[in-house]
Amino acid sequence: MADRKERERELQRYERLVENLPVGVYRNTPGPDGEFVEMNDALARIFDADSPAELMEVPVSDLYPDPEARAAFSERLRREGIVRNEELRQRTLDDREIWISVTGIKTEEDGEVYFDGIVQDITERTERERELRETERRFEAVFEDPNILVGLLEPDGTVLDINETAMEYIEADLADVQGDPFWETPWWGMGDDVGEEVREWTERAAAGEYVEFQADLTRPDGERYALEGYFRPVTDDDGEVVSIIVSDRDVTERREYERQLAESEQRYRALAEYFPNGIVTLFDHDLQYTLAAGQGFDRIPVEPADLEGKQFYDAWPEDTADALEPAFEAALDGRERAVEVEYEGRDWVVHGVPITDERGDVFAGMTMAQDITERKERERALEESERRYRTLAEHFPNGAVGVYDRDLRYTLAAGAKLGTDLPDSDRMEGERMPDLFPEQTVADLEPLFRAAIEDGKTASTTTEFGGRHWRVWAAPLRRADGEIFAGLSFAQDVTERREYERMLEESNERLEQFAYAASHDLQEPLRMVSSYLQLIERRYEDELDEDGREFIEYAVDGADRMRDMIDGLLQYSRVETRGNPFETVDLDAVVAEAREDLGMKIEESDAEITVADLPRVEGDDGQLRQVVQNLLDNAIEYSGNEPPRVHVSAERTGDWWEVSVSDEGIGIDPEDADRAFEVFQSLHDRADYDGTGIGLALCERIVERHGGEIWVDSEPDEGATFSFTLPAPEDDNE
């Protein structure tokens, strides 16, 4: 019994020892569906179990990510009886992958076969080894790179190794530099005082710091070059620096390229900042702005600094970015694209264009945004104006309206149908005027149309087509700056009016014939009456008393006034039919001739007549002299008790001249101003003032023949100003 108790105590000591081991211990049954029989707490902790009991419920196969690895391990253990330090990949209960080192022993007990094992978690060690292998592979790749200079140093800066690329670059043999301080090698140029800096970089790396550097150096042949690289410390598992890796590249060409690029960008930025009425940007393949400038920033609540360095989608509201995106993507795809965008109440057109290098590869994109708000508003206004204009043109009464270009091609045609031989107005658009009308009509219209669009002249003519008579006007259409961009034509059917005018001309001709005959027939009896009265006065002078002689004087005077009235009426009826063709008339000469005709009356009345510089006008010289003479005569006649003071002047109003004759006479009541121009109307007592009452009516008819108007501004006893308008000559550019 004592022996049995001793064995139990030994077994308890053994179990306590197993439970407190820092490694996992287990026993499981062999086979694909092996199960755990026993294990210690350390094994449960390795596999993230809260207790051995929890892990005991898990089939052994569930801990293997690779079933083939478990089968191979079990087979080897069954065959060899013991497997030492086998490294296996396992899966914990938290689905974490780990690496373990296992020593397995095949055991037989009571006729049963078991697998006992001792497990160590080697996950951290495995990871360090993997990183070390990766570092070694990278170092080997870098060390063999023909474009990189690589050196391996002791922590104190002594050269251990330098790759072949670097040795060729510094024109030295490895044996010449091994064991030397790195800062004293030809690596650092000829005569360049950078040794102390290299020593400092080495010391910093030896202290565990990752050091980046740039150095400007000189080759043995005197050529300048630039290096850029780093000093990287290599540490052991304890974090101690065991060596230093130095690697760098020749960046001479890149530095020169960057310098040129910086200069180019500076020039480009200067140009971009003065980009008129718009914004210029540069962006990279990540859609990040690298430059933004232009005067257009004055019109939006964004500054260039708000864009540079910012990603495209972060710089703009979502709807604006969505509208801009096609232009940006097209530029980076090597294509040009323009889009229209509305932003902050303004309209913009954005052109995206690619920026390529010498090989034609796209390395950036550029946008040019221009503010087209005013242009869009003008276009909208133009469209609205054209719509209103077309509506008006389509309802143009008794005629048609057309707009044409310099090729005399209609861009708009609307209104009435112009005749059976012509298409409807909507089919005239796009056609040339000379291709639409008969030969004679084209001969009538072409000079008119060309004068409007080429010379800016407005004129009209009469022509015939489609069996109708038409009055056609042509005028220039101008932009705000005065430039002519099109011609405008109006065609109005004047067939009925022409017929009416013909009938009126015939009627006027008959009326004139009647007036002439009537005046001739009346003149003879009046001359007879006047002659016999004068004969009676001479023959019976001694037998007539004072009353008789006065009666005869009244009768003779009445006959003379009747003859003057008949002469005035005859002149009035002949204004339209007996006038001369219009020509350019010098009003200074007209006034001078009228003053000469009134010379005696001017002298007798002691009249003072002043005349300002007068213009040339378009009119009938004889009729205009009659108007001026009648107005000067009236001014002298109605001057009152003071010597007449009369002033003649003129003022330009558009295409017309306004001529005025002012006096300081007795004036006219404003209520009688219109009646003054009626035939046979006299506003003053005939006993006090001579006159037939037809002079102002004759002036009005002559002025109306010239297309003008006549009126009077006056107050009683404050004088009067008679004004009338006359057309300026076409060649008068004042």
Q: Which carries the bigger pLDDT value, residue 185 or residue 643?
A: 643
Is there a single domain that holds both residue 274 and residue 309?
A: yes
Mean pLDDT, residues 245-273 taken together: 68
Is there a single domain that holds both residue 27 and residue 71?
A: yes
**Is-contact 597 547, C-beta < 8 A?**
no
Q: How far apart (Å, rounded) are the C-alpha atoms in residues 42 and 39?
A: 8
Structure-token pair, residue 653: 């109003």
Q: What is the domain-level CATH number for residue 37?
A: 3.30.450.20
**Is-contact 578 701, C-beta < 8 A?**
no
Low-confidence winner among 54-63, 256-265, 459-468, 598-607 (lowest mean pLDDT): 256-265
pLDDT per position as a tens digit, 186-215: 777 665 678 888 899 989 989 999 989 888
Residue 127 included in any domain? no
Q: What's residue 138's pLDDT? A: 55
Q: Is 24 exposed, middle or buried (0-12, 13-18, 19+ CB in 10 A)?
A: buried
Q: Which carries the bigger pLDDT value, residue 519 or residue 97?
A: 97
The sheet carrying 362-371 orders its strands as 289-293, 278-283, 362-371, 346-356, 337-343
pLDDT per position as a tens digit, 138-158: 555 455 555 567 778 899 988
Is there a single domain that holds both residue 690 and residue 594?
A: yes
Low-confidence winner among 83-92, 113-122, 287-296, 622-631 (lowest mean pLDDT): 287-296
Tell whether the model's pLDDT for residue 14 goes beyond 50.
no
pLDDT tier at 657, thresholds 50, 70, 90 = very high
- In the chain, the number of structural domains is 6
- Which of 20-34, 155-169, 192-206 has maximum average pLDDT? 192-206
Residue 398 included in any domain? yes
Q: What's residue 612's pLDDT? A: 94
Is there a single domain that holds both residue 587 and residue 723?
A: yes
Q: What's residue 140's pLDDT? A: 54
Q: What's residue 606's pLDDT? A: 92
Residue 621 included in any domain? yes
Report the share of the chain in percent with pLDDT over 70.
Answer: 78
Range of the domain at 624: 583-727
Domain boundary among 217, 250, 283: 250
Q: Which carries the bigger pLDDT value, residue 716 or residue 18?
A: 716
Q: What's residue 260's pLDDT? A: 66
Low-confidence winner among 144-148, 171-175, 447-451, 678-682 (lowest mean pLDDT): 144-148
pLDDT per position as a tens digit, 364-399: 888 888 888 888 877 776 666 556 655 555 555 566
Mean pLDDT, residues 228-237 taken together: 85
pLDDT per position as a tens digit, 275-285: 666 788 888 88
**Is-contact 461 488, C-beta < 8 A?**
no
Is there a single domain that holds both residue 207 and residue 300?
A: no
Per DSSP, the three-state class of 312 is: helix
Residue 590 included in any domain? yes
Is there a single domain that holds both residue 87 and residue 187?
A: no
Tell whether the model's pLDDT for residue 651 goes beyond 90.
yes
Q: How far apart (Å, rounded) are the C-alpha atoms in residues 412 and 399?
A: 14
Is there a single domain that holds both residue 509 and residue 393?
A: no
Q: Which carries the bigger pLDDT value, residue 56 or residue 575?
A: 56
Q: What's residue 447's pLDDT? A: 92
Tell whether the model's pLDDT for residue 17 goes beyond 50.
no
pLDDT tier at 450, thresholds 50, 70, 90 = very high
Considering the entire predicted model, what is its pTM? Answer: 0.35
Domain boundary among 468, 492, 516: 492
Per DSSP, the three-state class of 235 is: strand
Domain boundary among 250, 274, 296: 250
Is there a single domain that holds both residue 617 and residue 723?
A: yes
Is there a single domain that holds both residue 343 and residue 301?
A: yes
Residue 3 included in any domain? no
Q: Which carries the bigger pLDDT value, residue 97 or residue 296?
A: 97
pLDDT tier at 611, thresholds 50, 70, 90 = very high
Residue 315 included in any domain? yes
Is there a single domain that holds both residue 709 and residue 597?
A: yes
Q: Which carries the bigger pLDDT value, residue 143 or residue 551?
A: 551
Tell whether the model's pLDDT for residue 592 goes beyond 90.
yes
Contacts of 620-623 spanning 24+ positions with Cβ under 8 A: 620/579, 620/580, 620/581, 620/582, 620/585, 620/702, 620/705, 620/706, 621/580, 621/583, 621/585, 621/590, 622/579, 622/580, 623/575, 623/579, 623/580, 623/702, 623/705, 623/706
Tell whether the model's pLDDT for residue 694 goes beyond 80.
no
Is there a single domain that holds both residue 639 and residue 540?
A: no
Q: What is the domain-level CATH number for residue 640?
A: 3.30.565.10
Mean pLDDT, residues 557-583 taken together: 68
Residue 532 included in any domain? yes
Average pLDDT taken over every residue of the chain: 80
Backbone angles phi, psi at 303, to 5 degrees: -105, 155
Residue 578 included in any domain? no
Q: What's residue 513's pLDDT? A: 65
pLDDT per position as a tens digit, 430-439: 889 898 888 9
Is there a single domain that holds both residue 587 and residue 696?
A: yes
Q: Which carries the bigger pLDDT value, residue 698 or residue 407?
A: 407
